[in-house]
């Protein structure tokens, strides 16, 4: 509880550990290093797989998890932990059934070791493999109790919003309309704050707009998401005119995104040569040379080049 509850980044100098489990309805897995999660995975089983044996379900969970995180695991030795003890000897036993051959073939090329982990301690993967309402008393050891904690996010800028509602002319106009009983229907005032369909209203010129976008984009929980996802997160709790443009400008100017993320633009077409001119000074090219020391009050040179003779002026 003394560290942030966020996923950590992979360290390829350390050993990867995958814990998997399968239930009657789905499969679940967690990718870890040094006991800290890197990624979670869960998937619902189809009707055919639901009727398969427990052995096949557990084997299916392992292969799906390995293929899911193959970009981390290829070329590195890793450990697989499962609560099905017979799968521990998968690499040493004789492969007899077509199902075994199918799943073992998918694991070719990976370097790993399978370890047995009792189901009572395989809680994370076990929870990921289940749907609400599927738990039974047989799944838990005796004298074991569970406690669910429901939390809701609280915004630290509420106090700043209260100050703006008391001083900003744009927001004070809504308070005046509320006092006169002519406040438009989409708007409301609760606890001294102007709301639009339950969302906090801000002046588009307020510095809080950039602070809010930064909180939902540039923080570890924001994860430097794209424009659409960042806008969805911000719009779920706040409202101001021109919000989309504000988010687009912020994400487009984010230094971290520009340095790290790859370009998604369509590759440019092949360069096409220009036709050769038939006479001098029929076709020219022009450009500016800048950054020169001052000369007669000028620092820029305008250059014109003939494409046929290469003469320049």
> What are the residue boundaries of the structural domains of the chain, listed by start?
16-131, 158-260, 283-313
CATH fold for domain 158-260? Endonuclease III; domain 1 (1.10.340)
Separation CA 102–CA 88 (nearest Å): 17
Mean pLDDT of 299-303: 94
Separation CA 212–CA 222 (nearest Å): 11
pLDDT at 150: 57
pLDDT at 62: 94
What is the pairing mode between strands 238-239 and 199-201? Answer: parallel
Class of domain 16-131 (CATH, top level) = alpha beta
Separation CA 235–CA 255 (nearest Å): 23
pLDDT band at 99 (very low <50, low <70, confident <90, very high): confident
- Residue 69 sits at the vertex; the CA angle it makes with 66 and 75, to the nearest 5 degrees, is 80
What residues contact residue 114 under an 8 Å CB cut-off, 6+ apart? 62, 79, 80, 81, 82, 87, 88, 89, 90, 91
Separation CA 185–CA 76 (nearest Å): 60
Separation CA 77–CA 63 (nearest Å): 15
CA of residue 207 relative to chain centroid, distance: 26
* Token pair in block for residue 282: 């029929």
CA of residue 153 relative to chain centroid, distance: 19
pLDDT at 135: 47
Percent of the chain with pLDDT over 90: 49
State the SS3 of 176-218.
Answer: HHHHHCCCCCCEEEECCEEEECCEEECCCCCCHHHHHHHHHHC
Mean pLDDT of 264-275: 82
| pTM beyond 0.85 | no
Separation CA 56–CA 99 (nearest Å): 7
> What are the pLDDT digits (tens) for 38-62?
999 999 998 999 898 988 999 999 9
Element (H, E) at 73: helix 70-73
């Amino acid at each position: 509880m003394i560290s942030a509850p966020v996923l950590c980044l992979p360290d390829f100098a350390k050993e990867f550990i995958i814990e998997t489990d399968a239930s009657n309805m789905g499969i679940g897995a967690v990718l870890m290093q040094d006991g800290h999660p890197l990624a979670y995975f869960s998937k619902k089983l189809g009707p055919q797989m639901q009727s398969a044996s427990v052995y096949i379900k557990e084997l299916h969970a392992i292969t799906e998890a390995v293929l899911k995180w193959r970009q981390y695991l290829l070329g590195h030795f890793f450990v697989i932990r499962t609560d099905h003890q017979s799968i521990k000897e998968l690499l040493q036993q004789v492969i007899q059934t077509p199902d075994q051959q199918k799943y073992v073939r998918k694991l070719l090329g990976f370097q790993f070791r399978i370890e047995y982990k009792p189901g009572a301690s395989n809680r994370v993967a076990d929870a990921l493999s289940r749907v609400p309402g599927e738990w039974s008393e047989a799944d838990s050891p005796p004298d074991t109790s569970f406690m669910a904690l429901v939390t809701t996010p609280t915004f630290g800028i509420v106090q700043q919003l209260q100050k703006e509602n008391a001083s900003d002319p744009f927001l004070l106009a809504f308070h005046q309309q509320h006092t006169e009983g002519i406040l438009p229907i989409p708007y409301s005032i609760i606890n001294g704050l102007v709301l639009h369909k339950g969302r906090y209203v801000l002046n588009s010129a307020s510095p809080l707009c950039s602070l809010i976008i930064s909180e939902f984009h540039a923080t570890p929980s924001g994860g430097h998401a794209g424009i659409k996802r960042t806008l969805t997160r911000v719009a779920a709790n706040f409202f101001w005119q021109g919000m989309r443009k504000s988010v687009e400008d912020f994400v487009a100017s984010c230094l971290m995104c520009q340095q790290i993320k790859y370009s998604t633009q369509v590759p440019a077409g092949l360069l096409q040569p220009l036709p050769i001119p038939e006479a001098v000074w029929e076709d020219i090219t022009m450009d500016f040379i800048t950054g020169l020391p001052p000369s007669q009050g000028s620092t820029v040179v305008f250059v014109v080049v003939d494409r046929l003779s290469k003469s320049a002026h």
